[in-house]
Amino acid sequence: MSRQQGLQLWSAQTAAILRLELRRILWSRRAIPAWLLAASPVVLFGGHSLAAELGWSQCRGREDLLIWAATFQTYYLRLAIFFGCVGLFMNLFRGEMVEKTLHYYLLAPLRREVLAAGKYLAGLLAALALFAAGTAASYLIVREHVASLNNWDLAAAPPLKYLAGYLGVTTLAVIGYGALFMLFGLVCRNPMFPAVLVLIWESVNLFLPPLLKRLSVVYYLDALCPIEIPGRGGRLFAMTADPPSAPVAVVGLLALSAALVTASALRLKRIEIRYGTD
């Protein structure tokens, strides 16, 4: 088989796995928590906007946009997307081991690297379909509601000025966390334990020395968020550090994710299924 034929075969196999897995991931019971987490800011800010329209609450103009930005960084990025990726990506392989169905893939005439790539891409598209939609919908709800008041200094800015930046941050978060949790699902019998350790590490990033901050995914994601939250870096006991430049943050996260996916493929090549002892 020539190199070109091999690439065509692997591309066709990857696409077939992607179609099969994407449908299974999005419409399985395990995806319900991810759906709820992705929709939570839409419900929250949609409810606030509706209450303001009905006169039940007060819209605070530009401050509402800052509240959305703070909610994105403190809740959506650190908790919703994090746990959504835990549920979606850890089960790409661990879920099939539990259900005793992974051997069907392993017995097929299929390279393990192709299997890892197909499953990762399926998880990536599924997570982006949920969390990018949640980011876009909640942002546009707040922006449209606040801009209608014509009493804030960013009302003249085009609606996509900040939305593109937040969608980029969402995409990088899914890429990074997804690659990490897929690897956990392959190498750990109980992947929730290392996931909790990662959550703790990401949560205390604000209080870490500058050198240790660079070992956290959220350190780079925060640096890419378009709207700066006033007073966020001045919390008591917080240790400040110069944020990385956008190219460094993007390239660093993509390189780390590629390394993690490669590690998953190498692990998959050596894996042996023993359902009786797993």
Kindly give, in sequence order, each residue whose CB lies less than 8 Å from that of residue 70, ignoring residues fewer than 6 positions away: 229, 232
Residues 221 and 77: beta-carbon distance below 8 Å: yes
What confidence tens digit (pLDDT) does each residue in 98-115 have? 888 887 888 888 888 899
Across the chain, mean pLDDT equals 83
The C-alpha atoms of residue 140 and residue 180 are separated, in whole angstroms, by 30
What confidence tens digit (pLDDT) does each residue in 226-240 have? 887 765 544 544 555
- Mean pLDDT, residues 189-215: 82
The C-alpha atoms of residue 239 and residue 237 are separated, in whole angstroms, by 6
pTM above 0.75, yes or no: yes
Domain residue extents for the chain: 3-270
